[in-house]
Amino acid sequence: MLKRILSMSMAILLSASLFGCSNAADAENQPSDTTDKPPVYDVKCVNEPGQPLPISMYASAKASSAESDYDMKYTDANHSFAATMLNAVGDGYTGVFSPLSLQIALQVLFNGGDEATAQKFTDAVCPGMTMEEINASSAKLIALLSKSDGVNINSAVIASKYSGICESFANAAADYYRASVGALDFSDPQAALKQINSWISDNTNGLIDNLLDHLDKDTVLVILNALTLDLNWETPFTVATEPSAFNGANGSEQAIMLSSSGEYLYGNFDDGQMAIIPYMGDEYAMAVILPSEGVSPAAAASRLMEHISDCKTSKVTVKMPKTELKTKLDILAMADKLNISDAINGNFSNILYPSDSVKVTQIVHGGSLSVTENGTTAAAATAIVVNKGFMIVENEVICDRPYAMLIFHAETGAILFASVVNDV
């Protein structure tokens, strides 16, 4: 777990030694032999291009931003994004995800976007907030979460060793999101993939393995976030001795049920019932939502999350299945439903140097959840993969079924011959 940002003196020492990047002024002092010498950059970078950089804590000389005030507009945005994700996964979805993990990974990415790209992101995910306000509130939230026993949140920025990581981007990732920074050799995609998946596994307590299936030689950047939770109930549940029926969307199944009776916050709303079950220490709680007839669980959750504060203390009996879930989401495939397609296809010229054309090619999100009589263990991880240039999709035209042919004049487009082949 990343416990703290390095001290200012250590950051200055690191930037003066390991993280120094050549600039025009330094070029005059370089040896005359330029063989294999890294390029001279006119922007500040935190790594020496051409050299790998271990994935470790990076800090700028700027003081930590964790003391910033928290803006409740960020919670409103988080709730809205969670509701959007619930709607996007659909009514028949069974699984678990972390809106916060995905949101933070995206925020790190969009700190490297140009002004128009960042604006598209804020409009879609955090309307009414600037990137500066989002960063400040995130820093405060991460600081609060990091003080809790049982909750850990970590991020990392991993670039190709042949690129320079812009100092301004690295500083934002470190100062606001406590991100580690590293540089790998993506010319060996399998070796890089192994290291990245190992980071994810290590930072999710082994609950999420092999989140990414592949990388390729054109990969220039991977942004990671991992969030874990391991909390005990304030009052343990009772485990049923015999399984009972769970009437799922696809039929009835037998399940081991957990049961607890006591005074809990409770509400009965048009879209369903909600009971708030506290974890030990009262820092965290679970809202158990039972939808009304004709309302899907996803729809009920997206609507009722805004009514948590309306629940009142009442005598309640809660029964729910003992649960083990593991899921993976292709966020790029959901981008339109999440309203982030335009932003993702934007300009990310402030991340790497040289700022060649880059494109987000993968956003993968994994979740794990275990609910037992004693408490809850959960983990989520998000990986954003950025490639140089644009992805070239290799299509195939295999005429092993009826097909047609047109012979045309290239300049005018006039068709000279047309042929249809239904049989050979």
pLDDT of residue 118: 96
What is the per-residue pLDDT across 266-302, written as a single tens digit (0 to 9) for each?
A: 999 999 888 889 899 988 998 898 888 888 888 888 8
Q: How far is the C-alpha of 361 from the C-alpha of 349, rounded, in Å?
A: 16
In-domain check, residue 279? yes
- Domain's final residue, options 294, 324, 354: 324
- For 157, the 3-state DSSP assignment is strand
In-domain check, residue 210? yes
pLDDT of residue 380: 93
Considering the domain architecture, whether residues 244 and 96 belong to the same structural domain is answered as: no
Q: How far is the C-alpha of 64 from the C-alpha of 5, rounded, in Å?
A: 7
Considering the domain architecture, whether residues 20 and 146 belong to the same structural domain is answered as: yes
Considering the domain architecture, whether residues 217 and 350 belong to the same structural domain is answered as: yes
Considering the domain architecture, whether residues 101 and 247 belong to the same structural domain is answered as: no
The CA dihedral of 228, 232, 236, 238, to the nearest 10 degrees, is 30
Considering the domain architecture, whether residues 119 and 214 belong to the same structural domain is answered as: yes
- For 302, the 3-state DSSP assignment is helix
Considering the domain architecture, whether residues 37 and 141 belong to the same structural domain is answered as: yes
- Domain's final residue, options 275, 297, 324: 324
Which residue do the tokens 């001290």 mark?
Answer: 7
In this structure, which amino acid lies at residue 19?
F
What is the per-residue pLDDT across 122-176, written as a single tens digit (0 to 9) for each?
A: 999 999 999 999 999 999 999 988 988 999 999 999 999 999 999 999 999 999 9
pLDDT at 416 over 90: no
Q: Does pTM top 0.85 for this prediction?
A: no
Considering the domain architecture, whether residues 113 and 204 belong to the same structural domain is answered as: yes
Q: How far is the C-alpha of 166 from the C-alpha of 315, rounded, in Å?
A: 56
Of 184, 117, 126, the closest CA to residue 157 belongs to 184
Considering the domain architecture, whether residues 134 and 259 belong to the same structural domain is answered as: no
pLDDT of residue 274: 87
Considering the domain architecture, whether residues 107 and 30 belong to the same structural domain is answered as: yes
Considering the domain architecture, whether residues 170 and 72 belong to the same structural domain is answered as: yes
Cα-based distances in Å from 51 to 167, 191, 353:
16, 16, 14
Considering the domain architecture, whether residues 104 and 199 belong to the same structural domain is answered as: yes
Q: State the total domains in the chain.
A: 2
pLDDT of residue 250: 82
In-domain check, residue 168? yes
Task: Give the CATH number for residue 48.
Answer: 3.30.497.10
Q: Distance between terminal CA atoms of the chain?
A: 66
- Residue with more model confidence, 221 or 34: 221
> What's the rounded mean pLDDT across residues 201-209?
96
pLDDT of residue 354: 78
In-domain check, residue 111? yes
In-domain check, residue 404? no
Considering the domain architecture, whether residues 317 and 285 belong to the same structural domain is answered as: yes
In-domain check, residue 117? yes
pLDDT at 59 over 80: no
In-domain check, residue 259? yes
Confidence of residue 401 (pLDDT cuts 50, 70, 90): low
In-domain check, residue 50? yes
Confidence of residue 3 (pLDDT cuts 50, 70, 90): very low
What is the per-residue pLDDT across 339-366, written as a single tens digit (0 to 9) for each?
A: 999 999 999 999 998 777 899 999 999 9
Domain hosting residue 73, numbered range: 8-231+327-388
- Domain's final residue, options 303, 324, 345: 324
pLDDT of residue 222: 97
What mean pLDDT, rounded, does the chain reach?
A: 82
Task: Give the CATH number for residue 302.
Answer: 2.30.39.10
pLDDT of residue 58: 77
- Residue with more model confidence, 11 or 60: 60
- For 223, the 3-state DSSP assignment is strand
What's the burial of 34, exposed, middle or buried (CB within 10 Å: 0-12/13-18/19+)? exposed
